[in-house]
Structure 1
């Protein structure tokens, strides 16, 4: 099967925006809705808006790996297309490394790097993990563009990582101790990772987590390759995504009792589960948006998705909640016990119009 360049997928920008929506306040809105209304469905939804304490999985745990999956889907479009135009793999190195470097720096700034309190600064970050894992996946992808070869890379990373976590002994804890203190991830972070650790004895964006996370980025790359295949119909692509997604989730269910799902140390089962769900979500968004052409509703999320890094950083820099309180405080006071819900809804509105302003001015901050 031959692949060629395709126009930009609306589904990809929409899915990215949908993912970011939960980070910028969607989670807070549904938490407040559940807590204040006590509606059964809202309460159930609200319970999914937190990370699992250690073992297990909540919907909120999907946000980060889904974003990485989406960044992987973009690799064939952004990089393979350049190779098809005659660029060599070495000519793509600066672009990949520049993106990685900027994301690492932005991650450090997000963690408070501009305060210059380096003795308490956390070096590891969400953006840093995205950048480095992307670089690992991108370098593998541009050198081994074949679908089957990249599939073996994904399997190799997942199996190798599982062996590392389950077989390699940690001093004073032994092998296979998947606890905050005793995991091989925690041990490596305490030895090699400079700065403050998010979990005191471990970091969920630590060194080994980054390597593991490159696997789900490569899963996204496989999805991107499928999307670019000319010889597959759109419905066949959707079918492939559904089959892969169900298979990954099924494999997770078989393994979870002996190899638990743990986001904080990014176990291979966590990759399998989130990768499976990501394939299913991509199938749904691609089918509805790019195949069936139901696209008007996507604008709300596309405005967010087209400036995902901008809003992620802006939330840390700009006090959007204060603006919401200023504009909607009077209205919210009329709703009694529900005023928190109104103010959070106002927060989402303020953030969206900030992004809409950038959209209208054609300002898209990309890395």
Structure 2
């Protein structure tokens, strides 16, 4: 892991902006809208405030899409990062080693994020968000490095989707049978109970368990395919936007069909139906961001999002280590008290302001945390 003070290479601005947009919901925009919903009781804000909570099990809300979109975005970056290194003459062997190193570091950071240094023994949670991102990224990166054609990578992507569906639909779970979509009966739970040590976040399963991480590889590979198509075009083309929008619409339709036929979207189990819906929405968002940003010669409106999106790991870890609510209270507590019933909104907005000022400082100093 290194801190890079040099100017970053030429980047797909829409990718950084979409990553930044996604990160904002993780680092405080969700809390702001929950506070707005509670304070105003406006029907539209109340509805969106409800969207800022995960579904209890099956179904889909906007909050369920934040993590998969980030995995998708990490995949979009793969052709840009790895192909650029290949063009500079870096061998596949070295890139493979770097990939495994990055996966290992993300798993370790995930353990630290989960409280590894608390030394809780069997109560330590080994599965993590960062670990899942690492495994999904590693899967997509290795497929990209060791396959010769775009078609082969498409087959790998579809293969993961079908393999997960086959496991969840057809393989009998001891004591429950096959095709059971309950927290205890789904095969994810059995796999985690057998082979995932430590504390399981969901009790009988872990939403970032082994099968979930493998399933997330579909989204990383889907992003990789999209990134490869975008990178292969020297200048932005409307054809790319149409492909992303139509492809996303097709995946959403397939996901809705699976749901209708009894294979529900379950984010906590990363069902293939969930991957289809999340992947389709991610493709459409990428198409919209690509059209609204990359076809213009300058960053324009998207620069604040890019600033957030260029340091996602930094702000994610800082928010875990630093009590941002206390920092916001220190600077904005007085204003909040004077705002009476709007105090939760002021303090939630204060968290975002503090975080953004920090990210702007890092951006101006050209400090970017890389793995």
Q: Which category describes the TM-score, using the shorter chain as reference length?
A: over 0.9
Partner residue, 1:3 = none
Please give the per-residue CA displacement for 1:177-211, whole angstroms capped at 9, x wherever unaligned: 11111111100000100110001110000001111
Is 1:351 the counterpart of 2:355? The answer is yes
Partner residue, 2:99 = 96
Q: Is this contact kept in 1: 2:236–2:294, CA < 8 A?
A: no
Q: Name the SS of the counterpart of 1:199 in structure 2.
A: coil
Aligned partner of 2:238 among 235, 238, 245: 235
Please give the per-residue CA displacement for 1:308-359, whole angstroms capped at 9, x wherever unaligned: 0011111110011111111111111121111110010011101111222222
Please give the per-residue CA displacement for 1:276-317, whole angstroms capped at 9, x wherever unaligned: 000000001111001145732212212211110011111110
Q: Is this contact kept in 1: 2:127–2:206, CA < 8 A?
A: yes
Aligned pairs for 1:283-294 within 5 A: 283-293=287-297
Alpha-carbon distance in 2 for matches of 1:228, 1:25: 32
Deviates more, 1:347-356 or 1:141-150: 141-150
Aligned partner of 1:318 among 322, 325, 348: 322
Aligned pairs for 1:139-288 within 5 A: 139-230=142-233, 234-257=237-260, 258-288=262-292
Give the TM-score, by structure 2 length: 0.95
Deviates more, 1:31-40 or 1:223-232: 223-232
Unaligned runs of 5+ in 2: 1-8
Offset of residue 360 of structure 1: 2.1
Query: CA 1:231–1:346 in structure 2 vs 1: closer, same or farther (change >3 Å)?
Result: closer
CA RMSD of aligned residues (A): 1.4
Deviates more, 1:15-24 or 1:288-297: 288-297
Alpha-carbon distance in 2 for matches of 1:83, 1:56: 41
Offset of residue 68 of structure 1: 0.6
Offset of residue 231 of structure 1: 7.5
Q: Is this contact kept in 1: 2:236–2:295, CA < 8 A?
A: no
Offset of residue 169 of structure 1: 0.3
Unaligned runs of 5+ in 1: 1-5
Give the TM-score, by structure 1 length: 0.96
Q: Is this contact kept in 2: 1:11–1:282, CA < 8 A?
A: yes
Alpha-carbon distance in 2 for matches of 1:282, 1:324: 32
Aligned pairs for 1:41-56 within 5 A: 41-56=44-59
Is 1:38 the counterpart of 2:41? The answer is yes
Partner residue, 1:78 = 81
Offset of residue 220 of structure 1: 0.2
Query: CA 1:60–1:192 in structure 2 vs 1: closer, same or farther (change >3 Å)?
Result: same
Query: CA 1:359–1:233 in structure 2 vs 1: closer, same or farther (change >3 Å)?
Result: closer
Offset of residue 232 of structure 1: 8.0
Paired residues, number: 362
